[in-house]
Structure 1
Amino acid sequence: MSTPIKILIVEDEMIIAANISLQLTTLGYDIIGIVPRAEEAITCVKHDLPDIVLMDINLKGDLDGIDTVKRIQKEHEIAVIYLTANADETNFNRAKSTHPHAFISKPFKKLDLQRAIELTVDRLQQENNDNVEISSSVAESSPFMLSDCIFVRHNDKMVKVHINDIFYIEAERNYCRIYSKGKEYLLVITLKDMDEKLPNKHFLRVHRSFIVNLSQIDEIATSHIVIAKKAIPVSKTLKEELLKRLQTI
């Protein structure tokens, strides 16, 4: 990336935060802010979107670091590196559910932080390169939509997939995987673009990683739905829309 990587530090121990900032500034990174609370972190992200968030898990207040990341991820895709003095199994599993780029236990050495940042930057650069490659090929690979079916590229052919046969669609970074009756199809398209192309009558995005065929839902639980024996998470903000849509089909 040609411009400096922008990093937001969310850490309520200000001596630690200042030391991290000094080290990363010396290495050429752009520290856009140091904040101690979840609410300030969310506001900072809205005003100046960072490339990487260094997030202390054990923040004081109503939201800890993991909850804060979940709030941020509802609107933004940002690389996250967790910092924590409490690396127990529960916190680790909660943190893992947000797909962080790294996880550093306190106290950590300067080299541990430096390497975690460098590996994260490498991943961001690779994802950026993938986006460039995808944008050049997406025209020929994009699914072609009709009212009752879509045509998708599969083994160098355009294959017809009936709308009614699709169970759900899952995001895989910059790709989408369609799960249908008896077959799976990997498409070179983001879930956001796929959502814009699909007919609203049949499909609804229920989570940042999932679009579902409403007619294929077998069960509805508090935080997930079940389709073809697969438990699919449902975002709290989309649960009401899901229930509303189910009443009309």
Structure 2
Amino acid sequence: MSQPSKILIVEDEMVIGANISLQLSSLGYEITGVIPRGEEAIINVKQDTPDIILMDINLKGALDGVETVKLIQKEFDIPIIYLTANADDAHFNKAKATNPHAFISKPFKKLDLQHAIELVISKQDLKHNATKTVEDNPSPFILSDSIFVRHHEKMVKVDIKDILYIEAERNYCRIHSKSKEYLLVITLKDLDEKLPEMHFLRIHRSFIINISHIDEVATSHVVIAKKAIPVSKTLKEELLKRLHTI
């Protein structure tokens, strides 16, 4: 019998948090904690890592919900469901940047929350099964001028000069080339270590770019093939150094 999914509730209104905990416990989920502050939530995640986090966006204290999630995502890949009483565009867009699995406005019905959690679990199961089915999927085979990647049960050659950028999708990478896209079962970190440095540079935790295809460099992003790609402040200096040497 499979273990119940573990859920952490981060909610600074303890009456609401306790109510959610009771509802989810009655549905068979294991609650790892009902935490009112972002700082405490980070500690809790490290001590007893949950399968899902329910996160109130408008936390009181030094960290709001989105800032808390950003810090958690530096170390953990945990699905996030945001809860908020303030569903305006500014809050939504700020939360959206952290790629949550769901966004629920308060007050919400028990069934809405139940369905959101079930959808997250379903997606995670699909991803897990997909990973199992490609256990014999070879890593990309990289030559000086090309990469061989798995595509439709075959290994196909992708010329390095045709690769525009590579985007992280959790434990996968999506190669965007001039003509096609390829989804690889490899993390961006692992792929970055394999790619030839003279062509590629990681400019963000979610993006590696082919330097030769940069059309524009702005303050916080670069443009490649009309796509605005964010640049991390810590990696901007390395990008500018590389451009000076071309």
Between Structure 1 and Structure 2, how many residues are aligned? 245
Shift of 1:54: 0.2
Given that residues 55 and 82 in structure 1 are in contact (C-alpha distance below 8 angstroms), is that contact kept between their aligned partners in structure 2? yes
Is 1:123 paired with 2:130? Answer: no
Quote the Cα distance in structure 1 between the aligned partners of 2:244 and 2:45.
Answer: 36
Quote the Cα distance in structure 1 between the aligned partners of 2:238 and 2:38.
Answer: 27
Q: Which has the larger displacement, 144-153 or 169-178?
A: 169-178
Shift of 1:78: 1.2
CA spacing shift, 1:72–1:131, aligned 2, 3 Å: same
2:180 matched residue in structure 1: 184
Aligned residue among 127, 143, 156 for 2:140: 143
Superimposed CA distance per residue, residues 175-207 of structure 1 (whole angstroms, 9 cap, x where no aligned partner): 433223x32231332343422321234322223
Quote the Cα distance in structure 2 between the aligned partners of 1:129 and 1:84.
Answer: 32
Q: Which has the larger displacement, 53-62 or 71-80?
A: 71-80
1:107 matched residue in structure 2: 107
TM-score norm. by structure 2 comes to 0.87
Given that residues 86 and 105 in structure 1 are in contact (C-alpha distance below 8 angstroms), is that contact kept between their aligned partners in structure 2? yes
Please report the RMSD computed on the Cα atoms of aligned residues, expressed in angstroms: 2.4
Shift of 1:247: 5.2
Shift of 1:163: 2.4
Given that residues 52 and 81 in structure 1 are in contact (C-alpha distance below 8 angstroms), is that contact kept between their aligned partners in structure 2? yes
Q: SS of the residue aligned with 1:114? A: helix
Given that residues 8 and 53 in structure 1 are in contact (C-alpha distance below 8 angstroms), is that contact kept between their aligned partners in structure 2? yes
Shift of 1:18: 1.1
Q: Which has the larger displacement, 109-118 or 235-244?
A: 235-244
TM-score norm. by structure 1 comes to 0.86
Q: SS of the residue aligned with 2:180? A: strand
2:207 matched residue in structure 1: 210
Is 1:56 paired with 2:56? Answer: yes
Given that residues 174 and 182 in structure 2 are in contact (C-alpha distance below 8 angstroms), is that contact kept between their aligned partners in structure 1? yes
**Unaligned residue ranges in structure 1 (runs of 5+):** none
Quote the Cα distance in structure 2 between the aligned partners of 1:166 and 1:49.
Answer: 37
Superimposed CA distance per residue, residues 50-84 of structure 1 (whole angstroms, 9 cap, x where no aligned partner): 21110001111233212222222233221111111
Shift of 1:118: 1.5
CA spacing shift, 1:172–1:149, aligned 2, 3 Å: same
Is 1:31 paired with 2:31? Answer: yes
CA spacing shift, 1:172–1:184, aligned 2, 3 Å: farther
1:44 matched residue in structure 2: 44
Shift of 1:244: 5.0
CA spacing shift, 1:11–1:236, aligned 2, 3 Å: farther
